Structure 1
Amino acid sequence: MLAKPYLTAHYEPVPDELTAHDLTVRGSIPPELSGRYFRNGHNPKPGDVPTHWFKGAGMIHGLRLRDGRAEWYRNRWVRTPALDGAPLLREDGSMDLTASIAGTHIIEHAGRILALQEANLPFEMTPELDTVGPYDFGGKLTTAMTAHPKQDPVTGELHFFGYSPIPPHLVYYVAGPDGVILRQQIVEGAGPSLMHDFGITENYVVWLDMSVIFDHAEQSGIPYRWSDDYRPRIGILPRSGGAVTWFDVEPGALLHVSNAYEDESGRVVIEGPRFDRSAWETGWKWWIGAPGYPPSPNGGALQHRYVLDPQVGRARETMMDSLITDFPTINEDYIGRRNRYSYAVAFPGAGLEGVGILKYDNDSGTSTLAATGAGRIPGEAVFVPAAGATSEDDGYLLTIVGDAASASSELLILDAHDITAPPIAAVELPRRVPGGIHGSWIED
């Protein structure tokens, strides 16, 4: 039997939960880092062999930092019905939105910590990573919720959506800073495509209706496939409501968005790692453990920029870099606004000596790679502003790095201004942390 890549080596699940206190720190944790770093990922229980990476049970790995100390580490499964085998579809064919894997992301909004998986309701967690239960915004969330909501840094509103292979394909929600859903809207014209992420600008919401669409014949348990026949589009919807303006684009798929914003000419810009058909189908082999899978989950996504011009109704697409990357992040104070810097994980296969953290400078068009070393695989780098920050990159990047040789992991704290400098601090973790997905810094 072919070994599943998401169950072996760097991605091998851990078999249990543990708690450790007073972790060893090399260097000095900046005193303003007072809060919790949580990172989600797929970690099936022992004996469970999911047919797709994305179907493994969600597990949160968390660290509590305060007063220059790493007070604790703990890892906990998100205790959902799916953890004990409950299916997404009930016997009558209806969806059980509580049967979540809850393994993609974890965020905080309005005082609630939410573990997310896009086919289901969020699951609320405590600050100590105990599971509270499914959360539906007081009954107002009646669809699934994306794992990539966007909090507007100016208004404090949380923008998110639910998508479905059956109509209505796309429902857009806005929750206020207090967590109360203010409005929802069915987005007319959207199709049955895989909408993992989206973007917001000051005046628009940006929708990705592209080349990977629902296909019930897909047998991996995630029923989506690349389609050469589907018309790929990107849409912009006024945040005030109204109709979507759709722009035709070349065949492609974006799982993750770096950022979106409006330029000085009123054009809408959206950036992120773009898959072509070959890259998507190569990555899919890794995600399902098919013969010929690549060495990493990324089959070849390359950073692209789309410029959508409402005045002429056309989109321009540009490849920004030839390095294979994923898990883009920015200083979230710039969500929806023009950002100069973004960060990503660079993967093997791009002509590099292993993986590392990449920093893009959108003003100069240059990038800087901070290699993490042979056999040392970093995860998504989360930006945290420094106290009294005066520039966009004045802050820190937090990333969990796994070391294949020692089967150990550590949390690195990097200077976001100079990512090639030695780490400001490294927190030694009490166990190997499997490669995962997305996380957040939750400030006290």
Structure 2
Amino acid sequence: MTSKPYLTGHYTPVADEITATALTVEGTLPPELTGRLIRNSHNPKPGVTPTHWFKGSGMVHGIRLRDGRAEWYRNRWVHTPALDGAPYMTEHGPDLTASTAGTHVIEHGGRLLALCEANLPFELTRDLDTVGAYDFNGKLTSAMTAHPKEDPVTGELHFFASSPFPPYLIHHVASADGHVLTSQEVPGASAALKHDFAITEHHVVFLEGTVTFDPNEHSGIPYGWNDAQTSRIGVMPRGEGRAAEVRWFEIGQGYAMHLANAYEDAHGRIVVEGPAVGRAGWQRSWNWWVGAPDRGAEPNSGSRSRRWSIDLTAGRVSEEDTDDLVVEFPTINDAFVGREHRYQYALAFPDDLGIGNHTLVKYDRATGARQLRPVGTGQLPSEAVFVASADGADEDGGYLLTVVSDLNADASRLLVLDASDLTLPPVATVHLPRRVPAMIHGSWIPDADLA
């Protein structure tokens, strides 16, 4: 029996790659759901026990929908050198191709890219086979964040490289068709862990929390909580050559793994939202990730919704907790990335003592209301991916796609939910041929977006 929590329960890896066709559908799949839901997470090969959950090899799971049918499910390891044991650190320095490629998967410029923040992206075919490391035609010589942001107006892709050694932070922008336009070092950054970031219409926003490089951490992920590390928000104007204008603002201790969104409000303030943890919550999660004895019942312990408002004129930041649920994996309608959004979705976890079930949550930021969608005991939904309906004039006019791991039945299903009202019965349910392990991030990719 393994003592590693990330190899048990909902997180138990699958041991093989399969393809299943003509999946059973209950209800009616909307015709606009023509494309692929592709999700990614860590799934070490049989016999491999990684020292940290984040060190497990990446595996993508895809569900193909078209014309009201669920045509296939398939899962594939991302075949990087690390899958076969190649080390990240070599005598010549880091090998950017030795990636787990297990954090996220996106489409940009007609390419499917599996991402892990310490490495180059890996390109996949539309059937999820591995093409190889992708460096934007030689223009990318650094790692790439697993959380790039695509501007819904310009189509540009913003992403960054973060390192525990100088240069600590490099910001990149790629054109809508996938060519790197600018790369610039961001001054004033530190060795603090930067996992996610945000864009607004006119700015790029970086967060440095109270977690920084720790050479004494031997799990393979060399970071740890450090009270001496100042938490900060960096605000940089968008545009070539603007990095020198970045401004750093001190904030309270904490760490935000994922951000929901950022935008410029009617008063010119920059508002940033996302779950954040304090010291105790971070340590419980870290202990879960490495399999230490003193750990929480779930990862993301103590992670609660937070809002930072940055007044550039006054040079100050106000911050507040906005909800008391333990939540993570915030998402929105991506048409509102960088612009003010009304609705926000998240996955609620059992509380800090492990009491309660996993639940999908919808927040209405205009009214302050929240709506819960329980899935049942022993069931874990994935991060909710929003897909607009064909006539979705409203911000929440569309569907939420989530893959539910069900330990009771040792099975999984894809739920298609009405994003405007989570209390309604599912629009459709797709039964998958196996229990899909708990996953991290993924994307809905319409057929029209693939080259």
Q: TM-score, normalised by structure 1?
A: 0.99
1:174 and 2:195 aligned? no
Could you tell me which residue of structure 1 aligns to residue 434 of structure 2?
Answer: 431
Give every structure 1 segment of 4 or more consecutive aligned residues whose post-TM-superposition deviation is greater than 4 Å: none
Q: Which one-letter code corresponds to 2:415 in the other structure?
A: L
**CA deviation profile, 1:136-172 (whole Å, cap 9, x unmatched):** 0011111100000000000000000001000000000
The residue correspondences of 1:324-363 to structure 2 (distance < 5 A) are 324-349=326-351, 353-363=356-366
In 2: Cα distance, 1:50 partner to 1:243 partner: 41
Among 396, 400, 405, the residue aligned to 1:397: 400
Is the 1:151–1:159 contact (alpha carbons within 8 Å) kept by the matching residues of 2? yes
Could you tell me which residue of structure 2 aligns to residue 219 of structure 1?
Answer: 218
Among 244, 259, 262, the residue aligned to 1:260: 262
In 2: Cα distance, 1:127 partner to 1:194 partner: 32
Could you tell me which residue of structure 1 aligns to residue 368 of structure 2?
Answer: 365
1:188 and 2:190 aligned? no
Displacement, 1:334?
0.1
Q: Secondary structure at the match of 1:374?
A: coil
Is the 2:117–2:146 contact (alpha carbons within 8 Å) kept by the matching residues of 1? yes
1:411 and 2:414 aligned? yes
Displacement, 1:349?
1.2
Could you tell me which residue of structure 2 aligns to residue 35 of structure 1?
Answer: 35
Could you tell me which residue of structure 2 aligns to residue 50 of structure 1?
Answer: 50
1:73 and 2:76 aligned? no
In 2: Cα distance, 1:105 partner to 1:233 partner: 25
Q: Secondary structure at the match of 2:90?
A: coil
**CA deviation profile, 1:303-355 (whole Å, cap 9, x unmatched):** 00000000111000010001000011000000000000010000011697411
1:375 and 2:378 aligned? yes
The residue correspondences of 1:78-157 to structure 2 (distance < 5 A) are 78-92=78-92, 94-157=93-156
In 2: Cα distance, 1:243 partner to 1:86 partner: 40
Is the 2:349–2:356 contact (alpha carbons within 8 Å) kept by the matching residues of 1? no
Q: Which one-letter code corresponds to 1:38 in the other structure?
A: I
Could you tell me which residue of structure 2 aligns to residue 21 of structure 1?
Answer: 21
In 2: Cα distance, 1:3 partner to 1:9 partner: 12
The residue correspondences of 1:207-356 to structure 2 (distance < 5 A) are 207-240=206-239, 241=242, 242-349=244-351, 353-356=356-359
Displacement, 1:2?
5.7
Displacement, 1:292?
2.7
Q: Which has the larger displacement, 366-375 or 68-77?
A: 366-375
Q: Secondary structure at the match of 1:141?
A: coil
Is the 1:104–1:437 contact (alpha carbons within 8 Å) kept by the matching residues of 2? yes
In 2: Cα distance, 1:363 partner to 1:214 partner: 39
Q: Which has the larger displacement, 416-425 or 72-81?
A: 416-425
In 2: Cα distance, 1:49 partner to 1:249 partner: 37
Is the 1:88–1:95 contact (alpha carbons within 8 Å) kept by the matching residues of 2? yes
In 1: Cα distance, 2:227 partner to 2:355 partner: 31
Compared with structure 1, are the counterparts of its residues 352 and 335 closer, same or farther at alpha carbon in structure 2 (3 Å cutoff)? farther
Q: Which has the larger displacement, 333-342 or 293-302?
A: 293-302
Q: Which one-letter code corresponds to 2:157 in the other structure?
A: L
**CA deviation profile, 1:194-231 (whole Å, cap 9, x unmatched):** 10000000000000112100011011111000110011
In 1: Cα distance, 2:237 partner to 2:355 partner: 41
Displacement, 1:296?
1.6
Q: Which has the larger displacement, 380-389 or 291-300?
A: 291-300
Is the 2:311–2:317 contact (alpha carbons within 8 Å) kept by the matching residues of 1? yes
Displacement, 1:300?
1.3
In 1: Cα distance, 2:425 partner to 2:356 partner: 18
**CA deviation profile, 1:96-153 (whole Å, cap 9, x unmatched):** 0000000000000010000000000000000000100000001111110000000000
Q: TM-score, normalised by structure 2?
A: 0.97
Aligned length: 443
In 2: Cα distance, 1:189 partner to 1:209 partner: 11
Displacement, 1:365?
1.5
Q: Secondary structure at the match of 1:253?
A: coil
Is the 1:358–1:369 contact (alpha carbons within 8 Å) kept by the matching residues of 2? yes
**CA deviation profile, 1:343-401 (whole Å, cap 9, x unmatched):** 00000116974111000111111211111111111110000000021100000000000
Q: Which has the larger displacement, 121-130 or 295-304?
A: 295-304
Could you tell me which residue of structure 2 aligns to residue 388 of structure 1?
Answer: 391
In 1: Cα distance, 2:393 partner to 2:30 partner: 17
Is the 2:60–2:77 contact (alpha carbons within 8 Å) kept by the matching residues of 1? yes
Is the 2:76–2:129 contact (alpha carbons within 8 Å) kept by the matching residues of 1? yes
Q: Which one-letter code corresponds to 1:136 in the other structure?
A: D
In 2: Cα distance, 1:394 partner to 1:2 partner: 44
In 2: Cα distance, 1:353 partner to 1:117 partner: 31
Is the 1:76–1:130 contact (alpha carbons within 8 Å) kept by the matching residues of 2? yes
In 2: Cα distance, 1:398 partner to 1:292 partner: 34
Displacement, 1:91?
2.4
Q: Which one-letter code corresponds to 1:215 in the other structure?
A: D
Is the 1:2–1:289 contact (alpha carbons within 8 Å) kept by the matching residues of 2? no
In 1: Cα distance, 2:425 partner to 2:380 partner: 16
**% same residue:** 58
Displacement, 1:436?
1.1
**CA deviation profile, 1:238-281 (whole Å, cap 9, x unmatched):** 00214211111000111100000000111100000001111100
Q: Which one-letter code corresponds to 1:378 in the other structure?
A: P
